[in-house]
Amino acid sequence: MRVLVVDDEEALADVIARGLRQAGMAVDVAYDGEEAIEKAEITPYDLVVLDRQLPDLHGDDVCRHLVTTAPAPRILMLTASGEIESRVEGLGLGADDYLVKPFEMAELIARLQALARRPSQHIPPVLAIGDMRIDTTRRTVSRRGTPLTLTRKEFGVLEMLATADGRVVSAEELLEHVWDEAVDPFTNAVRITVMTLRRKLGEPQVVETVVGVGYRLAVAT
């Protein structure tokens, strides 16, 4: 999942980003509303963690803009106010969830994972593909009943291929959703990650390369 964290408290934004990366998400950070909109116009984020009380451009205005983009990201609003009226206002603007500061990182991660599994994104908690079982909540994978140890990037690539329903996914798409903005666009990180993923998944191979196009998951019947 590619996530944008938007908060003018830079220390807090960086802590949130670090925690989400440890949970296997690719995370970018914006410290104000204008920067958030600029980044969202370039990158199709799956999820946005948005502080409501942003200076200059208010979080409400950022939310209004994001929900008009296509495809629109899921938005989780952060606020220092726990008042019901404040929560209702935020949800009425198009936010998908609301979390009051201070909060536990574990709850933020759980809420984001729940948003990612909502029906419009068609990602069930457990994906069963051939002899593989991919648990998107626990971020675990097994094949023929044997647990596999994958890195965060390997899991991210496998999850994206698994949810593509056989569609070919380009290396550029994988970079956009599994890595963050710090990645070198000319890196061979995707190729290397796919290579190590194939080795760990074992035989028969399920990750196919479509020359000049990208990769797809194809399970033999």
Higher pLDDT, 78 or 72: 78
Residue 164 has pLDDT above 50, yes or no: yes
User: pLDDT band at 187, cuts 50/70/90?
Assistant: confident
Would you give the end-to-end CA distance of the chain in angstroms? 29
Cα angle at 26 between 24 and 27, to 5 degrees?
120
Q: Are residues 112 and 130 in the same domain?
A: no
Among candidate residues 89, 120, 151, the one where a domain is terminated = 120
Q: Are residues 107 and 45 in the same domain?
A: yes
Domain harbouring 112, CATH code: 3.40.50.2300
Q: Are residues 190 and 110 in the same domain?
A: no
**Region 187-210 average pLDDT:** 90
Q: Are residues 134 and 83 in the same domain?
A: no
pLDDT tens readout for residues 14-44:
999 999 999 888 999 999 999 999 999 988 8
pLDDT at 96: 87
Q: Are residues 74 and 163 in the same domain?
A: no
Residue 212 has pLDDT above 70, yes or no: yes
User: pLDDT band at 77, cuts 50/70/90?
Assistant: very high
d(CA 176, CA 179): 6
Q: Are residues 50 and 68 in the same domain?
A: yes
Among candidate residues 66, 85, 120, the one where a domain is terminated = 120
Determine contact, residues 40/33, Cβ cutoff 8 Å.
no
Q: Are residues 115 and 131 in the same domain?
A: no
Number of independent structural domains in the chain: 2
Domain harbouring 173, CATH code: 1.10.10.10
Q: Are residues 114 and 134 in the same domain?
A: no
Domain extent, residue 185, equals 126-217
* Length of the chain, in residues: 221
For 162, the token pair is 């698994």
Q: Are residues 22 and 53 in the same domain?
A: yes
Q: Are residues 100 and 134 in the same domain?
A: no
